[in-house]
Amino acid sequence: MAQIRFRTVDRPTLVSMLTTLYECLGSGTASISHNGNTVSYSTPSQIRATISDIENALDRRDRIAAAAIPRSPLAPQYPVISRGWN
């Protein structure tokens, strides 16, 4: 199964798609309609794989957004020192 790229899809749409997939998995249905497009899955493992892909895309976006937040130059950077008391 080819991996779907979600770069052009905005976050609220991804969350909506994820919710729909979880509902589909819970109800046992094999086809999903979202924004007028219908996708049919042959096995629950395909649904789980798509859920995993969307969750990974959301996680990747969160990590990129967190890395883009500039750190304050006034924030102290303390070294981690261990004296062997652990």
Residue 36's domain comprises 13-68
Question: Does residue 76 fall inside a structural domain?
Answer: no
Tell me which residue has tokens 């924004």: 35
Is-contact 21 28, C-beta < 8 A? Answer: no
Return the DSSP state at 33: E
Is 75 among the domain residues? no
Within-domain flag for 62:
yes
pTM here?
A: 0.68
* Residue 46 is assigned to a structural domain of this protein: yes
Report yes or no: 40 and 30 within 8 Å, Cβ to Cβ.
yes
Asked whether residue 21 is assigned to any structural domain, the reply reads yes
Count of structural domains, the chain: 1
With beta carbons less than 8 A apart as the criterion, state whether 51 and 21 touch. Answer: yes
Tens digit of pLDDT for each residue in 15-64?
988 998 999 888 888 888 877 888 888 888 899 998 999 999 899 888 88
Q: Which amino acid is at 42?
A: S
Q: Which two tokens stand for residue 24?
A: 């589909």
DSSP classification of residue 84:
S
